[in-house]
Amino acid sequence: MPSLKVRSSARTPEIRWESERGAAKELGLEINERLVGQLDSESPSPEVGYGVTRKLLATGEAFTALFAFNDISAIGAIRALREAGRRVPEDVSVVGFDDIQSAAFQNPALTTVRQPLREMGVIAAQILLRRINASAKTPYPKTVTVEPEIDRAREHGEGKTLGIAANVSLDDHANSARTFA
């Protein structure tokens, strides 16, 4: 399965990548390292995913699914796949991450991992307030697990979602997601 990952000084991209690798291993899926595309820019443009996907297609390696670092790079990937004559989702399934508003308006609509950002914010604020009001020695959770979803309904015209588990580290403000069966 090809994957588009981003190069960044922030910890979140690396946590997402390690989570993707862990989930693939748990599901018995092999990630072909020759089909891992490195996004060289944090630009909020689909161009980033477009260019990397063209490079992946140029390898000649066959693939039927692509997991993009975020929805924006997935949108660029879909364009590159279409230009190469690949039909999405019939020939290649594409999954993004973040559930941006415009994902639903793509054609086809983008399958995406939806993070429960509001819930994550409420939990973080509650823990922070408890820490402010507690003594310095009061224990607090270092990691909290939340459950985002993979929204497949838009792609398939049905109300299908797959569950995933995510760990939110309160020490470095990073998050990760792992699929589970």
Domain range list for the chain: 3-179
Q: Parallel, antiparallel, or unpaired: how do β-strands 175-179 and 111-114 relate?
A: unpaired
pLDDT at residue 72, as a whole number: 92
Q: Which residues of the chain have pLDDT under 70?
A: 1-12, 152-181
pLDDT at residue 1, as a whole number: 52
As a whole number of angstroms, the distance between CA 108 and CA 154 comes to 8
Give this prediction's pTM.
0.68
In contact, 72 and 57? CB cutoff 8 Å: no
pLDDT at residue 80, as a whole number: 96
In a 10 Å sphere around its CB, with 0-12 CB exposed, 13-18 middle and 19+ buried, how is residue 146 labelled? middle
Q: Which fold has domain 3-179?
A: Rossmann fold (3.40.50)
Q: What is the mean pLDDT of the chain?
A: 76
pLDDT at residue 3, as a whole number: 52
Name the token pair of 36.
């891992």
As a whole number of angstroms, the distance between CA 70 and CA 38 comes to 13
Nearest to 160 by CA among 172, 169, 149, 168: 149
